[in-house]
Amino acid sequence: MAAAFQHFHTYFLLPVSIDKEAVSEDHPEVFCRHASWMSGLEEWIRHPSHRHGEKLVAAIGGWKRAAYMTFDVDSPAYQDMVFFHPFVRRVFFDSAELWTDATENESLLQCFAMTPPAGSRLWFTAEDAKGRCASVEVTDLRMFLFANGIGILSIGVEGMSIPEAQALWINEMMRKIYPSSSRQLREGRAPSRLAFEWEAPGGSGRETLAEERFGHVEMTGFLPPMARTIQALLHFADYEAQEYEPVLDERMIVYTYATIDPGSVGGEFVRSDQYQVLLSRLLYVDRAGPDYRYDPDFTVSEMYRQLYRRWAHQGTYYGFTSYSNVTCSIGHFDCDEHELREGFLIHRMFTTRYYLMALVTLFYRATLLDFAERTALVSKLLYADHQHGHRISTGNVRLTAELRSDFLHFSNYWYFDELANKDEENQHFLLQVREYRIDSMKREVEQEIDKLNDSLHGYYQFRNTEAVNRLAMLSLILGAGAVVTGFFGMNFSGLFGRVLFEPPAGQTQAHWASILFVTLFAVCTLSFGLYVVISNWADYRESLLPRWWLARTARHMGSLRRR
């Protein structure tokens, strides 16, 4: 007997990396008026010149800032923030109202929401080549943008009384943002159509606001063919101009909640193999089936490591993989002294603290992957300098220094080993960190950046040694000239004076020869010094140029990815 879900709720989370340099270059009319990226962010998102998502924005409205505004005990802000450490509240909550005039009044995180007009409904629809389809209501659209250019798009869909097979199909198909091959489309393993459909107030039918049928699929430069449904939501940035890119693969992260209807299963379901099979299908985002999709011994072993079992005796499980985060329970019930009339505790935690923790860990993973890409691109530029026999350009040195500075800021400001002090919350966080391999990725990126920095340090030590040697050689030559001119300027008398300074008529050969020697020595010395300076002008240029010129040059270095 197949299970049915009383309540099914999924957030599809898509991390993207926004190329801040490319965006600033493409939209100077916005960012030239602002001192920082974050201060111009809201204006850029609401700028009217965007090409994508016109119908969607016209129907349900564009992105609006969704910062926390009230902080009393019954407010969402209070209930979301109170479970985290104070330093986490300052960093990962868009609550600008709490910043005082004495501190920097600019949050490094901004949250935006897109809300359909009252009485209207937005639907997310998927179809495949074999005629299967599903449509589920979109109940939450949020976007989180961070100061380092990482953004997380959150699409929340929700439904009641949904059969198990349909819910699993929704999770698997709606998470796809592009097919990995044409075979996926033909075999129905990827959707042949994705669409956002809008039902206006009054229920007069649905209108398609954004649609993707994957009729013509090709790469955009090095970027995969992003679905038009996603491009419509990220309408403020031009994907074809490579202003942003997806950080992961063709799938969004599935963060899902499912409550099993007790009436659709037997009383022993909580301890049955059938429940474990269903959990495996939810956890690994597979379609419905009578047994484990993979080898049972392997699957059970993996699930033992990936499932959080503190509440397993009540039928409640939490699961974590590198592409999914699952909360599953059987029915709605009072959780100890948490009364059901106040709202089901497990679902409330799913939409608040655990949702925020899922965003934080996904931000960590996306940022570290972005650092890995930037490190590779900077290393390529330095390698090209070496390969062509050139000295490392000042611009590439600045890129390396900026990369190291950004990583230090991430490590010191954003990254925390612990978000909350409560055991359950902290254990959830650590399980997700482990599945994302965040600790090992952070160590690896840190080692790569340190090695890059050490190589430049060694290079500049060599260059400094060369400069000191040149200075010593010039000093020796100029010193020799000073000795010669000083020697001739000591006004020796007697025979020395008569031969070189005041020779008698007809005996001036030695006098003119000494003058010619000193003149040639001085000219050669000055010419050699000028040659040394000109041939090594790159070493002296920055010492002479004003700081405002260097700062302007640094700002116009452009996008690293577009090079």
pLDDT digits (tens, 9 = 90+) for 365-377: 999 999 999 999 9
| Cα gap 341→348, rounded to integer Å | 12
pLDDT, residue 103, reads: 46
Tell me what the pLDDT averaged over the chain comes to.
85
> Which residues are CB-contacts of 386 (< 8 A; sequence separation ≥ 6)?
392
Q: Would you call 325 helix, strand, or coil by DSSP?
A: strand
C-alpha closest to that of 350 among 321, 377, 373, 327: 327
pLDDT, residue 445, reads: 93
User: Between vectors from CA 543 to CA 538 and to CA 545, what angle results, nearest 5°?
Assistant: 90
Sign of the CA dihedral with 133 first, then 200, 56, and 111 last: negative
| Whether 211 contacts 194, CB under 8 Å | yes
Tokens of 246: 């997806």
Tokens of 388: 């062509």
SS3 letters across 390-405: CCCCHHHHHHHHHHHH
* Segment 291-340, tens digit of pLDDT: 999 999 999 999 999 999 999 999 999 999 999 999 999 988 878 778 88
Residue count of the chain, please give it.
Answer: 563
Domain boundaries, the chain: 4-67+107-351, 359-563
pLDDT, residue 159, reads: 94
pLDDT, residue 106, reads: 65
Sign of the CA dihedral with 502 first, then 507, 510, and 513 last: positive
| Cα gap 194→282, rounded to integer Å | 21
Place of tokens 């899902």: 256
Question: In the predicted model, is pLDDT for residue 548 greater than 70?
Answer: no
Structure confidence at residue 562 as a pLDDT band (50, 70, 90): confident
| Cα gap 116→522, rounded to integer Å | 82
> Which residues are CB-contacts of 463 (< 8 A; sequence separation ≥ 6)?
391, 539
| Whether 329 contacts 314, CB under 8 Å | yes
Mean pLDDT, range 279-299, rounded to an integer: 94
| Cα gap 244→344, rounded to integer Å | 38
Tokens of 486: 């000083």
pLDDT > 90 in the chain, percent: 47
| Cα gap 470→476, rounded to integer Å | 10
* Segment 441-476, tens digit of pLDDT: 999 999 998 888 888 777 777 666 766 776 777 777
* Segment 473-504, tens digit of pLDDT: 777 777 766 776 666 666 666 666 666 667 77
Helix (H) or strand (E) holding 159: strand 150-163
* Segment 90-149, tens digit of pLDDT: 889 888 666 554 445 567 899 999 998 888 999 999 999 999 999 999 999 999 999 999
